[in-house]
Amino acid sequence: MAPVTAGSYEYDLVVIGGGSGGLAAAKEAVSYGKKVAVLDFVIPSPRGTTWGIGGTCVNVGCIPKKLMHQAALLGEAIHDAKAYGWQIPDPEAIKIDWEAIKTAVQNHVKSVNWVTRVMLRDKKVEYINGLGQFKDPNTVVAKLKNGTERVLTTSHVIIAVGGRPNYPNIPGAKEYCITSDDIFSHPTPPGDTLIVGAGYIGLECAGFLKGFGYNATVMVRSVVLRGFDTQMADLITEELKDKGVEFLMKCVPLEVKKLDSGKLQVTWKNIETNKTCSAEFDTVLIATGRRALTDELLLPNAGIKVEENAKINANKETTNVPHIFAVGDVLHGRPELTPVAVQAGKLLAARLYGGATLEMDYDNVATTVFTPLEYGCVGLSEETAISKYTEDKIEVYHAFYKPTEFFIPQRNPSRCYLKVICLRNSPRTILGMHFIGPNAGEVIQGYAAAMKCNITFDQLESTVGIHPTLSEEFTRVVITKRSGLDPTPQSCCS
């Protein structure tokens, strides 16, 4: 992609959206001496929640989620500590202080908001706290909080607005329910919580809420962790059940009412039996997917086409309008992950203004579900591998394992499990790696780099592991599903 200039326009680049992808593109663009503006505006959630610059990840996504996940793990560690000899009078009497954890998380988020604004100022990226909308293909109007407007002309635009949670079309949903936009700053302890939706957001919230000592119930319309490996999703479900999370399978909500007591009465239907039930909860958290924020942009004014799901179908981040691009969660058919948006935004700006040619590779992107027992994966699921290559052409190596840390507190290791999916023919190119266990994100990150280098099973089995670690279990796996042998180890060093 040849370098371009602004010509008669006010800006070289206007980025609509101040999340991870948009900020990465803006910072890269100014490094080539370009004049860049970033527009960022948070429409309040139906419950009135707003936040600062930085996008979903920083404010209501990865960062506060991971901090609350860590808080829940620390609660579990307190019980383990007693088994390890620490003199803790009564672990059962130790309770979470919701106000304290909420305040700590929000203070960190606000510090990141501040650092982000300072960084943009230092790099001479103009930050405009306004809602960006297209007037024409080269004109973006920023609607400011005070009711005024700013008109910006630009040679290029990057759309990086991401998405916001969907609400089911049922009575009481927007009036009384919250989403991930609200949970991390919820003013009062959530208490007995119903989570509607069983994707990674729903399961992660259920996990840390249960870890905090609140009752958590997950309502599942179809399957848990749609799009992930089915066997791994089933193991995570069983682990959550063991932790005390309740599941309402094959159910959909019908109505949410607020009672005089302040409780929320939820009525739902089992779509298999057609039976209707109801129960009371303190909080109802909707986690039924996210919608792209494209309707707000007035895209027809720029001639930009969208898919039925309101997402933008872009070729190499280029929309159907050649000088308008899109990165991040707003893209159709791409992973909705912060590092994906960051990498795509940075590479796009480098191609636009630096004469670079490297393009974003959306294959083999690793991810982790931060449930109490984490699940990390990279590459294909077992189902996808079979569908793509047929069962006869793939081999699945698998193993259960016992983390050393689990022995003394006698924690249940029955779902600590991994599998490696590869081609059967030598050198057995690896297609997917899946890991359930503590620190799964840290474990899978290193193997993600190996996957980018086309690692083979021959290379994996010749790698000497670091003992005793969790990650070394990948270097010791020898049993195939095809063999029918028991993949359960006899000891930590077996």
Q: What are phi and psi of 427, to 5 degrees?
A: -90, 20
d(CA 415, CA 313): 39
Clarify whether 434 is annotated catalytic: no
DSSP readout, 412-432?
--TT-EEEEEEESSTT-BEEE
Q: What are phi and psi of 21, to 5 degrees?
A: -70, -45
The amino acid occupying position 53 is I
The answer to whether the CB of 263 falls within 8 A of the CB of 172 is no
Residue 79 tokens, joined: 């019980």
Tell me which H or E stretch contains 176: helix 173-176
Q: For 284, how many CA atoms within 13 A lie in the half-sphere containing its CB? A: 29
| Residue in this structure with the two tokens 């990150």, named with its chain if needed | 445
Residue 208 tokens, joined: 């840390």
d(CA 286, CA 474): 36
Beta pairing, strands 163-165 & 290-292: antiparallel
The answer to whether the CB of 276 falls within 8 A of the CB of 254 is yes
Active-site residue, selected from the candidate residues 156, 186, 323, 467 = 467
Cis amide linkage into residue 339, ω under 30° from 0: no
| Residue in this structure with the two tokens 């919608």, named with its chain if needed | 291
Cis amide linkage into residue 322, ω under 30° from 0: no
Q: What are phi and psi of 251, to 5 degrees?
A: -125, 150
| Residue in this structure with the two tokens 């620190």, named with its chain if needed | 439
The answer to whether the CB of 423 falls within 8 A of the CB of 396 is no
Buried b (16+ CB within 10 A) or exposed e, 257-285: eeeeeebbbbbbeeeeeeeeeeeebbbbb
Q: For 233, how many CA atoms within 13 A lie in the half-sphere containing its CB? A: 18
d(CA 295, CA 301): 12
Residue 426 tokens, joined: 């030598």
DSSP readout, 2-60?
-----TTSSEEEEEE--SHHHHHHHHHHHTTT--EEEE---PPPTT-----TTHHHHHH
d(CA 141, CA 153): 9
Q: Among 60, 254, 248, 249, which Cα is nearest to 168's?
A: 254
Q: Which residues are catalytic?
A: 467
